[in-house]
Amino acid sequence: MQSVLLAVDRLNAFIGKLFAWCIVILMLAITYEVFCRYVLRDPTSWAYDVSLMLYGALFMMAGAYTLSRNGHVRGDFLYRKWAPTTQAKSDLVLYFLFYFPGILALIYSGWNYFQLSYLLNEHSSFSPDGPVIWPFKALIPITGVMMLLQGVVEVVRCIICIRTGDWPHRLHDVEELEKVILEEAALNKAEREATTRGSL
């Protein structure tokens, strides 16, 4: 079971890291626009649309990756003090009350939104040479499906934690600075206490 959970994590990590390159393309596009606008005195007609779509793609496609790393915002000042089984029970209830209904609504409405845009061959109305935007809108239901898949994995993790009393292993590639500082403080405190006991 763990190998299946980690496989979904790896898939969403690959997609999230792939779309993270949007930030580099976005930076280049904005830099080019600023150069054209202030140096050449000839602003582009596409920079606004491109920046909007690139940022939107980055934001949407990083959602499942962030969930796979347990990185979404929560009330940590309460949550981290709970026992793992209490955390898992709370998460499980919230997934079914809020997460899955919201994600299913995103998939349903996102598909209709994309389909209408595709049938109309919709172009952006924000610029005179508005680019085709249905490929961008296709990311909405795709994001929903990836979030749904990762949500199922997280529910399985909750069930495993409730049964075993501890969270199953998940992939990590970054740590919150607050967590690192707290771990270092706990380690320093333990070393000081060991030194104090040794000197007595």
Please give the average per-residue pLDDT across 158-169, as a whole number.
93
With pLDDT > 90 as the criterion, what percentage of the chain qualifies? 63
pLDDT higher than threshold 80 for residue 74? no
Residue 72 is classified by DSSP as S
Taking Cα atoms as reference points, which of 169, 150, 179 lies closest to residue 66? 150
Partner residues linked to 123 by β-bridges = 132
Domains: count for the chain: 1
Entry pTM: 0.81
Q: Domain of 10? A: 2-199
Q: How confident is the model at residue 195 (pLDDT cuts 50, 70, 90)?
A: confident
Q: What angle do CA 74, 22, 52 make, to 5 degrees?
A: 80
- The rounded distance, in Å, linking the Cα atoms of 7 and 68 is 11
- Phi and psi for 42 in degrees, rounded to 5? -145, 80
Widest CA span in the chain: 81
95-102: long-range contacts, CB 8 A cutoff, minimum separation 24: 95/151, 95/154, 95/155, 95/158, 99/151, 100/148, 100/151
Q: What separation in angstroms does the CA of 182 have from each of 64, 179, 189?
A: 27, 5, 10
Which structure tokens are listed for 147? 């979030």
What digits encode the pLDDT tens for the residues 135-151?
A: 999 999 999 999 999 99
